Structure 1
């Protein structure tokens, strides 16, 4: 089969409807799907048949949530979410459909949600960086991030295992697709922006992790390092553990154990073996006056396990506690309007499940609620 870009639609508005009851949420492939809106309400996003779902807290700090909105968009293969310092949420989807003649139409689109729980802008097609390439399988999960100027960066892995990038300019116009330098063996990727405003891209290959970064905000995304570490594709979550220093949480491809790989090549085992293909969620917060990293990961029995450890000092030990029922896909975590840790997951029945940090010392979680 041959891949072709999806044709640009002259009229492609975003449709907002109540979520179809027969369309449960799909298991998330990324842990970045729970975000704090600029009005202080958390928003959770998930793919479903024919589009995307969006749940929103009814008030800052919860605990009640709205029924999900449904943003119609057919043929979604993958989606990811990015948010800039202005609080706007960017939904980026990768679409794939097989035509009657056997050709595969593929392309990326994005839409922006300016307010929590509200309709998004019309879908904007981003095109495809790898037209007319022979390829019969699925494409990798794309990545996206927003810099401190509010510009969106969209990144897919093309069929040759190379990373392509298309970025929005400051005037709102889009640049063309560019291919980042690399060895072409990348199997999954993620992107994020540091607090200083520098865009970072991390791609996992067989036995290596490739890192690209901006040396200054708004600059070119350039090769930064190649780390010889065996992390499983699709399992890596980055976290800024110090200014412009990135720690990678993922599954060791050889041992199956969750590890953290820190700048300088230091790798620390975290004492738990996630379910195959599971991506952890990680967030930094202050617990009892200490800078801590909270990690949530789906175990081999499907239940989530949560642990907290000193940021940058994971070797001091992570004490895991299993919680809730079996879930599907990657969990997500964020801090709510009051600074409390919130953990979200999609149940095996396709419903949103949420738990929140109790207002007491340490990291104790409330009972899970089904939204």
Structure 2
């Protein structure tokens, strides 16, 4: 196969960036624990936001007593917190491209509690809100005295026990005159902090919320402030229902310190920008430690040490939406699924190019944003995901197009530690079995199969594997045999169904590269040979491998020429002419596409940008008229689609349109 040689220009012409209207004016709210969290963990995604109204919420003052630098530059935790606030302002101005910034600082009341709102005068769409709660590292704060709690304790203990957390300046050891009296002497119960955040979303009409990871591993307890911030964000978004209650709000959570254990996935250019963002936050170098950058605003971090440097080249969302969140129902109508307003929403074509929705999927609250969609042998659509409350694998199937049966729990292959379960993948096999695959506690793959006319078995089958990272992918080769791909520590592991429909693992990985969180997509060439696509971790552009004429897979990835840098999964689809097409979220936050120049050959070296700014990964599919359709969640918190004007890979796209209402 010719890999990346352009023998003909791709016929995709760029569509207008905004061909439609927003369901609601976009506003992105970021909720973090500390003043540097969004810079380190939501970046480079946040670089795409600052042309839109963006509100960053800092729950704690960051007033640690153990990390104030040589000579104890700050006399009190209040003074340290205030200096970190200056760093947050400096970084936000730098991200917005504002030099010599000035800020308007205003006390704001949210559900009866007063927080500080800072507005960037030169770019007033940029706002910061400081709640000024005590930080877990503040040794002067009596974390267990008189039912005083830090952020994570407050979240876990609940409001009924009397536990509460106070703002800086409430306790005698906070710093006295260094503390800001208008924000002191306040306490929050769990219910009050949740209500204040919900009121904040209502005040700013939030459509997208970026939050910290609330995922708790028994083997890795994580940072308590981060976990508390993630939990409060999860609960407060669930209590909020979009601007004016229109249900248009999407939560996207990000991993934090544990990304150091993953493969780098941010390109060198954006890594450099992220490093500079962190330096802006730290402030001008004080120069009091020879050979070490020592910031003015936050004196403690060494931005070039082994702890901080991995963050610049990494960004990982906790529950990525992936590329398999749409399907064609038994009537041939495209149907899309995504978590919005804290529940699974469904959008359905009423006719090709016209959509209705979103409509809540019954019982779809409290589910992870990673959804696996497949079409059952009956033609009905099936959705599989993880229930966040207990990490049970959950599945539901239509009883008729547009109608749904009850949810079924498939349990968890890791009852001793269910948090280790991975994102599910689901395949309808050629023998009409439906199989669900997940990562298990032994870091291999477990599967559970629904045989026609039978119920789900009690036990999970162990398919083997080792050091599987998370994102499984499935498909069917042209022969009809199932294919399973699992990114792992040794590379991409591969299983294929044999003639007895049993899953057999290859003797070695498809790649020899150690992979981090890699999301694989599969498509079949016109001659039936399977091909996979993923973001190459050594250089975050699109890579591919394929089956050769003898049935063996290529042993190393090939990079598609001129591929834009991307952090999300690659969506793939094959229209009627047999030429594979791909869609990715590019470095500008929009969607770029590419197609094979002919059946069974390589891809064009041009990637037209279809415009828009989206959240997560796009999906790509073919509708009943044979046209390619790109689907994406935009910053207004709902679905938008971009459809070809006619069938045929070279046909142009007509522009983005709001799907439903």
TM-score bracket, normalised by the shorter chain, equals: 0.7 to 0.9
Give yes or no for contact 1:296–1:306 (8 Å, CA) kept in 2.
yes
Partner SS state of residue 465, structure 2: coil
Q: Deviations over 1:70-100 (max 9, x none)?
A: 0133321232111145421111121122xxx
Structure-1 residue corresponding to 2:640: 353
Give yes or no for contact 2:334–2:348 (8 Å, CA) kept in 1.
yes
- Structure 1, unmatched stretches of 5+, are 4-17, 98-104
Structure-1 residue corresponding to 2:393: 108
Structure-2 residue corresponding to 1:342: 629
- Give the alignment's TM-score, normalised by structure 2: 0.48
Structure-2 residue corresponding to 1:328: 615
> Does residue 661 of structure 2 align to residue 370 of structure 1?
no
Larger mean CA deviation between 157-166 and 77-86 belongs to 77-86
TM-aligned CA deviation for residue 274 of structure 1:
3.2
C-alpha distance 319-84 of structure 1, shift in aligned 2 (>3 A): farther
C-alpha distance 195-122 of structure 1, shift in aligned 2 (>3 A): farther
Structure-2 residue corresponding to 1:293: 580
> Does residue 367 of structure 2 align to residue 76 of structure 1?
yes
1:274 pairs with 557, 565, 585, which one? 565
Structure-2 residue corresponding to 1:145: 427
Q: CA RMSD in A?
A: 2.5
C-alpha separation in 2, matches of 1:229 and 1:357: 38
1:24 pairs with 229, 235, 249, which one? 249
C-alpha separation in 1, matches of 2:599 and 2:607: 16
Structure-2 residue corresponding to 1:251: 535
C-alpha distance 181-34 of structure 1, shift in aligned 2 (>3 A): same
1:313 pairs with 596, 601, 607, which one? 601
> Does residue 348 of structure 2 align to residue 56 of structure 1?
yes
Give yes or no for contact 2:518–2:537 (8 Å, CA) kept in 1.
no
Give yes or no for contact 1:37–1:115 (8 Å, CA) kept in 2.
no
C-alpha separation in 2, matches of 1:41 and 1:187: 31
C-alpha distance 213-243 of structure 1, shift in aligned 2 (>3 A): farther
C-alpha separation in 2, matches of 1:303 and 1:312: 28
Structure-2 residue corresponding to 1:284: 574
Structure-1 residue corresponding to 2:339: 47
C-alpha separation in 1, matches of 2:248 and 2:645: 32
Give the structure with the higher percent helix.
Answer: 2
TM-aligned CA deviation for residue 207 of structure 1:
4.3
Give yes or no for contact 1:232–1:250 (8 Å, CA) kept in 2.
no
TM-aligned CA deviation for residue 351 of structure 1:
1.1
- Structure 2, unmatched stretches of 5+, are 1-216, 220-240, 253-319, 547-552
Structure-1 residue corresponding to 2:328: 36
* Residues 157-176 of structure 1 mapped to structure 2, 5 A cutoff: 157-175=439-457, 176=459
How many residues align? The count is 339
C-alpha distance 25-106 of structure 1, shift in aligned 2 (>3 A): same
Larger mean CA deviation between 331-340 and 224-233 belongs to 224-233
C-alpha separation in 2, matches of 1:232 and 1:317: 27
C-alpha distance 274-87 of structure 1, shift in aligned 2 (>3 A): farther
Structure-1 residue corresponding to 2:591: 304
Q: Deviations over 1:24-50 (max 9, x none)?
A: 345652211121222121111112344
Give yes or no for contact 1:196–1:243 (8 Å, CA) kept in 2.
no
2:387 pairs with 71, 85, 95, which one? 95
Q: Deviations over 1:151-176 (max 9, x none)?
A: 22111112432111001012322232
> Does residue 66 of structure 2 align to residue 66 of structure 1?
no
Higher CA-based Rg: 2
Give yes or no for contact 1:232–1:251 (8 Å, CA) kept in 2.
no
C-alpha separation in 2, matches of 1:140 and 1:298: 23
C-alpha distance 75-67 of structure 1, shift in aligned 2 (>3 A): closer
C-alpha separation in 1, matches of 2:430 and 2:478: 8
TM-aligned CA deviation for residue 132 of structure 1:
1.1
2:502 pairs with 220, 226, 229, which one? 220
Structure-1 residue corresponding to 2:75: none
TM-aligned CA deviation for residue 187 of structure 1:
3.4
C-alpha distance 219-329 of structure 1, shift in aligned 2 (>3 A): same
Partner SS state of residue 439, structure 2: coil
Give the structure with the higher percent strand.
Answer: 1
Give yes or no for contact 1:189–1:234 (8 Å, CA) kept in 2.
no
C-alpha distance 69-195 of structure 1, shift in aligned 2 (>3 A): farther
Structure-2 residue corresponding to 1:14: none
C-alpha separation in 2, matches of 1:320 and 1:273: 8
TM-aligned CA deviation for residue 266 of structure 1:
5.1
C-alpha separation in 2, matches of 1:238 and 1:82: 14
C-alpha distance 341-232 of structure 1, shift in aligned 2 (>3 A): farther
C-alpha separation in 2, matches of 1:183 and 1:336: 38
Give yes or no for contact 2:445–2:468 (8 Å, CA) kept in 1.
no
C-alpha separation in 2, matches of 1:140 and 1:274: 25
> Relative contact order (C-alpha < 8 Å, sep 6+): which is higher?
2
Structure-1 residue corresponding to 2:521: 237
TM-aligned CA deviation for residue 324 of structure 1:
2.5
C-alpha distance 111-170 of structure 1, shift in aligned 2 (>3 A): same
C-alpha separation in 2, matches of 1:25 and 1:193: 32
Structure-2 residue corresponding to 1:200: 483
